[in-house]
Amino acid sequence: MASICPAQPSVLQCSIQKLLIEIASIDDIIFGAGVRLNAHGLTPNNGGEVELILGTIGVGDRAAAWGCALLTAGTRVSAGEGIRVLQISPPVSRFANGRRFKEGAEEDDSPRPWQQTAVP
């Protein structure tokens, strides 16, 4: 069950993962059916062992996550971005400029194939 924290109206609190989900504006985002926000996860470390990751999921203004998308620990969705149907975000991902980036990687502003114009 979700509730809004009166002290921080822009932060969605979940009963299990309190304060690990930050939503810029509750009125301006879209979550499709079956979207999951998991601010925790298991991942292998360099030693071959499995470790628990906890990370805040951030969703910017006017962002959308469509049907059955999965946003995991540390995922950041920039303002105006859309997460595709069935998209699974690896832990600590960032969505910006229509693409997914590993956190810490530079954004690539080069045109995407659907943004390129035809040459006559």
Rounded to the nearest 10°, the torsion over CA 92, 17, 32, 108 is -20
DSSP characters over 47-81? TS-EEEEE--EEE-TT-EE-TT-EE-TT-EE-TT-
pLDDT per position as a tens digit, 12-43 = 444 445 578 888 877 788 899 999 998 888 88
- pLDDT of 81 reads 93
Residue 107, pLDDT > 60, answer: no
pTM exceeds 0.75: no
Residue 115 has pLDDT above 80, yes or no: no
The model's pLDDT over 73-103, given as tens digits with 9 standing for 90+, comes to 999 999 999 999 999 988 889 999 888 887 6
